[in-house]
Amino acid sequence: MLIPLEEVRRRQPRAAGFALLETGFRVFFALAGGYAVIAVLLWALAFFGVWAPPLGGLGLVQWHAHEMIYGFALAVIAGFLLTATGNWTGRRTLHGRPLAALALVWVAARVAFDLGFVVVSGLLDMAFIAALSVAVLVPIVRARQKRQSGVLAKLALFLPAALLFTLGASGQWASGVNFGVTAGLYLVIGLILMMGRRVVPVFIRSGVPEAFEPRNSRILDVISLLAYLPFFVAMLLPTRHEPVTAGVIAVCASILFVANLLRLAGWHTPGVWRRPLVWVLYLGMAFVTLGFGLVAAAWLGWIPAYGATHAFAYGGIGLMTLGMMARVSLGHTGRSIHEPPAAIGVAFGVLAVGAVVRVVMPLVWPAGYPVWVGLSQALWVIAFGIFFVRYLPMLAFARVDGRPG
């Protein structure tokens, strides 16, 4: 059988070379890994009073939260979605100069924010989100993939969230900053729930050493969706501390905790804990689940609210993003996902310990809060520093199998 000329050319190995702008995951995972280290180092210096950052009128916690959501997390989301969209649609997404331009907008927003030009950063963030949404939307529409509408909707909602944050930072709406940060956090969690439901069972099935078929339930999917929508809205309402709204939050969070606990039970097999690229994602989803349980406990007045926030942010987002970046980078650079670098397993372990330190220890020993924060900051920097150093060469240079991408 004759093979078309273009197919022959595609199969021919290519010389190794600079490939950072070949695919979205390359440049954005590199940026996210590096900024995860920089942003938390800056946060540590500010938290312990070593450095007074130019806050641009923000509170210190708001300043930190914004960059972890609209800086770090959105970079990971950009890298993941630009790559996943190509897989879903069979069409090539941003690459070369257009991808470089998108990345430069993200970089400019981070520089502006860290120099105290918060409104300028907000405008750049909105430009970035809009451009990313279009870059993801166009191939999906052309391929008529209506199934991805939920992903597109969540991505698009970052735009009004960033707008409201910017309005708050500019003094136009007093509640805008907190609204933008809260909306951003729970949009990221919503994406993790949606994409985790799709990919984690697949990764478990293909990654564990034994034959195993993770169990999924349509009923749990519907329950989770119906509970998450009012939970998300209630968390944004100015009346969220009043009895009725607080009751809605506690009830919905309890439902989400139980539903996701049952989902994790259906995904569990002993082999999960033998594969770092599997257990890191499973543990990340477990921390998201724990977050809902802690939200319910906090809104019932049993524990402080910060435990839930960092179960979502440090444990859930941290472990899921590190695990996804590590796995996607291996698979899409032609390397075996069954033989990850030993160092990345260490990074996962360090980050998991950091999540326990940040979430659990302040609840167990509140008097040691500054110690727990400082230790968790150090562990985060170590974990993402390992990823950045070990994976940057993979991300920057061509696939080892010579294929494009």
For 99, residues 6+ apart whose C-beta sits below 8 A from its C-beta are 21, 24, 27, 82
For 385, residues 6+ apart whose C-beta sits below 8 A from its C-beta are 37
| 2 pLDDT more than 50 | no
Long-range contacts of 219-223 (CB under 8 A, 24+ apart): 220/259, 220/262, 220/263, 221/197, 223/255, 223/259
Q: Rounded mean pLDDT of the chain?
A: 93
pLDDT tens digit sequence for 63-89: 999 999 999 999 999 999 999 999 888
| 38 pLDDT more than 60 | yes
What pLDDT score was predicted for residue 304?
A: 83
Per-residue DSSP letter, 3? P
Determine the Cα–Cα distance for residues 284 and 321; give it in Å rounded to an integer. Answer: 9
Q: Fold for domain 19-396?
A: Cytochrome C Oxidase; Chain A (1.20.210)
Cα three-residue angle 331-332-338, rounded to 5 degrees? 10
| 15 pLDDT more than 50 | no
| 347 pLDDT more than 50 | yes
Percent of the chain with pLDDT over 90: 86
Domain residue ranges in the chain: 19-396
What is the pTM assigned to this prediction? 0.94
CA distances from 164 to 71, 78, 209, 346 (A): 16, 21, 47, 39
Tokens of 38: 């920089």
Per-residue DSSP letter, 237? S
pLDDT tens digit sequence for 109-151: 999 999 999 999 999 999 999 999 999 999 999 988 888 888 9
> Is the CB of residue 66 less than 8 Å from the CB of residue 127?
no
pLDDT tens digit sequence for 285-301: 999 999 999 999 998 88
pLDDT tens digit sequence for 144-171: 888 888 899 999 999 999 999 999 999 9
Comparing 174 with 260, which gets the higher pLDDT?
260
Note the maximum CA span of the chain.
Answer: 74
> Is the CB of residue 276 less than 8 Å from the CB of residue 344?
yes
Q: Which residue has the tokens 């990823």?
A: 387
Determine the Cα–Cα distance for residues 142 and 266; give it in Å rounded to an integer. Answer: 36
| 9 pLDDT more than 80 | no
What pLDDT score was predicted for residue 331?
A: 94
Per-residue DSSP letter, 312? I
Determine the Cα–Cα distance for residues 22 and 16; give it in Å rounded to an integer. Answer: 13
